[in-house]
Chain A
Amino acid sequence: MPFKKTKSDAADALVLEWVLQVKNYKLNLDRNRCAGCQICTLACPRQAITTQKQPKQSDEPTKKAKVDIDLEKCNFCGICDVTCPYGAVKVIQNGSHDLAVLTKESYPQLIRDITVDTRRCDKECDECVTACPLSLITISKVGYDGQPVNDLSGLSPLAKRRVQVTLDIQKQYCPTCRACEFKCSSGAIKVKKCFEGKLAVDTEKCPPGCHECVDVCPITGTLTLDSKAKVVTAEQTCTFCGACKNVCPKPEALTVHRTKIFHTPVHSGAWNKTLERLTSPSDAVKEFKAQAAKTRRELVLHRFEVEEMKKK
């Protein structure tokens, strides 16, 4: 059979496939999990991914930007899979999810550093479950007899104390926004963001009445409207994914700037370029400085300077 390339685009998934006589490659983008952000577009080493702002219906909230992947350019390396903060992409190579870019150490993994100490949990609390904007947290409670407990109100204090709480976070989908951590009154959850950065809205520059960014932000509470219908930002829960940036009609009004990415150590040209695109050349240089990677730093500086010179 000849080599077949296929692409199918449905409301809830975009599927790309290479089928060869003896091998196959598949990419599945879960449109429900995809936030329409900037990350994979910038991470893709082949520039195969684009986002498109969706036309706005006057009476409806703005829709998140739509991601498209070019079948002619995609080579199923899995870098989008590895970098997506929302875990929306899955790349399968020959039936396995062991991506060669990871096993061959040619690309790092995001570190989603979440620690949970359920011993500190208030046994009756489930604030984190409701706090998670992506509904990734489930809590299960088990009594001393090993039976699941749903309602603690009828239990004696002793029995209450002996209830064991388990907290399950679907880590592969978690963008580490820290909403749960802030909500948690007993300090049982600690989240370290995998993306750090800056978020700012210059409401002076916003077109009157615009709240497109608020509509699309996947992390509820990060962007809100005040009483005068002006956008207010809460940087502490921002994942710096840039979904807002993809729909903002006034580029100068909104700043999303990633400065640091928390990842497993790696020596890789592909990552260096991704880092440069996701953050900025100067932020990338900072990382290389920290790693004492002199040559890479010089390379970026050189490229950066040349570009600066070109601009002048």
Chain B
Amino acid sequence: MSSPQDPAKPEALRVGVFVCHCGLNIAGTVDVHAVAEFAKTIPDVVYVKENRYTCADPGQEEIRKAIRQQKLNRVVIAACSPRMHEPTFRRTVAEAGLNSFLYEMANIREFASWCHQSDPAAATERAKDSVKMAVAKVRLMQPLQTIEVPVTNKAVIIGGGIAGINAALDLAEQGFKVYMVESTQSIGGHMAALDKTFPTLDCSICIEGPKMVDCARHPNITIFANSDLVKCEGYIGNFKVKIRKNPRFVIPEKCTGCGECKDACPIEYPNEWDNNLGTRKAISVPFDQTVPLVYSINRDYCIECFKCTEACGERDAIDFDQKPQEVDIEVGAIVVSTGFDVYEPYDMPLLGYGKYPNVITGMEFERLILAAGPTGGKVIRQSDGKKPHRIAFILCVGSRDKQHYPYCSNFCCMYTLKHVVQLKEKYKEDVEVYVFYMDIRSPGKGYEEFYDRARERGVNFIRGRVSRIDEDPVTHNLMVHSEDSLLGQPIEVEADMVVLATASIPKKGSDEVARILNLSRDANGFFMEAHPKLKPMDAPTDGVFFAGACAGLKDIPYSVSQGSGAASRAATVISKPKWKIEPIISIVDEEKCKKCGACVDKCPYGAIRQDADQPAKIITASCHGCGTCVAECPSHAITQMHFTDAQVLAQIHAALETNPEDKILAILCNWCSYAGADLAGISRCDYPASVRAIRVMCSGRVAREFVLEALRLGAGAVLIGACHLPYDCHYISGNYKMKDRTDALKAMLTKLGMSPERFRVEYVSAAEGIHYAEVIREIDSQRKALGKEKIQAENAKLKPILENMLKRK
């Protein structure tokens, strides 16, 4: 049931305003009663109601009741951030029979009560204006229908580590077709290279190997190993993914995995998979349990003697002319599980890695102690091939270090405990072990008990950061200098070998994956979730999910659970025949379109087509609703639904109706700067209440007219908030389009005599609440420093010019 509307005779507006107390979260600072009273004075508002918790069931019921009883045809909810509860109230409104796009939120919690706690009066004023702006917008809103698109019931997994393997198996078991793209020659990831796993010390490949084989054998799974993700187009439910199969120079269908070619090959090169501790042949597999078991030739080392071809004989599997091959697949959902890399501390010269032969990393130790490793499981020193008797382990190398990686790498404490227990249990009294640590982090199931096991084995734990390592040039023994912070004195330990538990870091190539799939990365470089707590496996791009260490470091149990979790999230998409898309897309007014084609290049998604002599056409399902084209169209022929020019201008008018010179008009993009401003509120950063914020989906939507109109109305300052350049924009490049536009605008306005500080573009990420607060504080003090008179004088001078420019429309 939709609201009865007769286009011939527009129905009278009946706006209902619901002011939420949010317990004391809002009511504790904002005078909610005054806001409600104020709302009653706004034209077209016929009903105002205060709620203690609007989002709770009784609160929602109040709304539904009021819509029915008061015959409301527009609803404004003054409560928290729309980023929090917009979807909740859409449903509420729809349940009462009103089109769910006929409601608007006024953010009076994150944007008033929480960020202006020191000035309740000003917070209340801001809240009132927010309600007024919301009413102004809601008046012009139109009912919209959710768009439905068909869904391809297949998924692709990018990265075949333990997380990706679990996601693939779970999806395949549910009956979905799964493609798995792995950039190296074998699936398995880091786990396949480990010896044992904490805290149970079971053999790593023995538990992962069968899963790898299951993947290869499963009728629903197709593995593309030695392949790269090249391109991804489309949208949730309908992705078109291009994969490049890099040449192996061996035909997978013909290779039997016998390895006879390897025996014939004269050339060896360092085996990266073995951390370069040992070598592999120019034709080989990285390790025996490789899945899929297909040999590859490394043409960077091969001398083309063709001895392998001779050895391969009738099987005829070797093809030196193999070329890269591109494969197109269609999927409904994407799981990203690209894992991590291990840091090699070449840039920490005081530790001597790369310089002293007996200083190794934890990952290298893993390969040394592994029975199938290059030394056959013998822990030996590089300098003399002898077994070390005193080994020092150093934790947090590069991790929790502001100079390198500020975060905790999650599993190095535990894997070091594993290493020391393995050593002690293998060599008993024959080896002395020292561990230099900052804190031992052992929060998992059975982890603290494992720590006890290490202590019972007589391992020496020394709390302190190591300052440097020196080497005796003759014996190649190492002197570890540290402080013992428990005793408060310096300590020196001589060791035969030092193992550095180095940081784990974002996977190389993550930026490329982020670019292709339009993902963003957090300050440390790991992929950013849509919500760290509530959507830990969802990417901001719909239909893309994360599993494992790529979105923040995780140990094996956690990565495995995330693999299954991501599979379940992906299944919520691909199990449906159709997927609903928000109708906030752009449409072209064919009458107004001058067929210039300017919009075509500006659309970050290539969703616009303009054929000769034809008005531009927007491909609905490809449009992501950023609104960049709207701002770019010279003929104002494009409209973004739900964020129309008229709606935004109405908000600007409402915001600047009184005392415009005292106000900062901010237009914020939904994903970064609005979220950053929300975070400022959530973190209770106090900043001046002179700001009035308008939300658009993307900074690319900010048309020149918005800025000019705000200044014409006399705004004290204008701020545009955007995602950071170069990659943070959620619509690929909307921020760049905005920048091009506003750079020119700012130059012009300054030339016309406006103080440059009155127009500002600021890049604020969703994590930069403090930064947002600082920016507002700065603009506000600049505004105050200029003084109301100066601003008014500038405005008086600007006004006729601006009016003229806006008239030309």
Contact = CB atoms under 8 A, between A and B. Distances in A.
A in complex with B: yes
A21 B278 contact: yes
Nearest to B357: A1
B541 interface: no
B364 A1 contact: yes
B305 A271 contact: yes
B246 interface: no
A311 interface: no
Contacts of B276: 2-3, 20-21
A197 interface: no
A20 B353 contact: no
Interface in B256-283: 264-270, 275-279
Contacts of A79: 303
A105 B265 CA distance: 10
A20 B270 contact: yes
B267 to A, nearest CB: 6
Chain A residues touching B, majority SS: loop
Contacts of A262: none
Contacts of B266: 77, 99-101, 103-104, 106-107
Contacts of B303: 45-46, 75, 77, 79, 101, 106, 270
Contacts of B359: 1
B558 interface: no
Question: How large, as a class, is the contact surface on chain B?
Answer: 20 to 34
Nearest to A5: B270
A22 interface: yes
A228 to B, nearest CB: 48
Contacts of B356: 1
Given A2-B353, A21-B375, A22-B277, A45 B304 contact: yes
Contacts, number: 96
Nearest to A273: B304
A106 B374 contact: no
A291 interface: no
B344 interface: yes
Given A20-B277, A22-B277, A267 B375 contact: no
B358 A104 contact: no
A270 B304 contact: yes
Nearest to B358: A1
A101 B304 CA distance: 11
Interface in B648-681: none
A5 to B, nearest CB: 9
A102 to B, nearest CB: 8
Contacts of A182: none
Interface string A76-106: 0101000000000000010000011101111
Given A2-B276, A4-B354, A269 B306 contact: yes
B364 A21 contact: yes
A22 B358 CA distance: 12
A18 interface: yes
Interface string B363-380: 010001000001100001
B307 interface: yes
A46 B303 CA distance: 7
B105 to A, nearest CB: 55
A222 B344 CA distance: 56
A1 B265 contact: no
Given A104-B307, A106-B307, A22 B354 contact: no
A289 B19 CA distance: 96
A173 B374 CA distance: 37
A312 interface: no
A45 B359 CA distance: 35
B429 interface: no
A248 to B, nearest CB: 30
B301 interface: yes
A268 interface: yes
Given A77-B303, A101-B303, A270-B305, A22 B278 contact: yes
B265 to A, nearest CB: 7
A79 B303 CA distance: 10
Contacts of B197: none
Given A21-B277, A22-B374, A268 B357 contact: no
Contacts of A19: 357, 382
A235 to B, nearest CB: 32
Contacts of B305: 101, 106-107, 268-271
A310 interface: no
B360 interface: yes
Interface in A1-37: 1-4, 18-23
A18 B306 contact: no
A47 to B, nearest CB: 11
B353 to A, nearest CB: 7
A20 B278 contact: yes
Contacts of B278: 20-23
A167 to B, nearest CB: 35
A165 to B, nearest CB: 41
B354 A2 contact: yes
Contacts of B364: 1-2, 21
B310 to A, nearest CB: 7
Contacts of A106: 264-266, 303, 305, 307
A46 B301 CA distance: 8
A23 B274 CA distance: 13
Contacts of B375: 21-22
Nearest to A23: B279
Contacts of A23: 268, 278-279, 374
B279 A269 contact: no
Interface string A51-94: 00000000000000000000000010101000000000000010
A268 B306 contact: yes
Contacts of A267: 306, 310
B307 A105 contact: yes
A103 B266 CA distance: 8
Most buried by A among B264, B267, B368: B267
Nearest to B310: A267
Contact of B301 (A21, A75, A271): A75
Contacts of A77: 266-267, 303
Contacts of B301: 46, 75
A75 B269 contact: yes
A67 to B, nearest CB: 19
Nearest to B382: A1
A106 B276 CA distance: 25
Contacts of B304: 45, 269-270, 273
B264 A104 contact: yes
Nearest to A21: B277
Contacts of A20: 270, 276-279
Interface of A: 1-4, 18-23, 45-46, 75, 77, 79, 93, 99-101, 103-107, 267-271, 273
| 8 A-B pairs with least C-beta separation | A3-B276, A106-B305, A100-B266, A269-B306, A45-B303, A21-B277, A270-B305, A1-B382
23 contacts: A1-B360, A2-B275, A20-B276, A20-B277, A21-B375, A23-B278, A46-B303, A75-B301, A75-B303, A79-B303, A100-B268, A103-B266, A105-B307, A106-B265, A106-B266, A107-B305, A267-B306, A267-B310, A268-B305, A268-B306, A268-B307, A270-B303, A271-B305
Given A2-B344, A23-B268, 15 more contacts: A1-B364, A19-B357, A21-B276, A21-B380, A23-B279, A46-B301, A75-B303, A100-B267, A101-B305, A104-B266, A106-B264, A106-B266, A106-B305, A269-B304, A270-B305
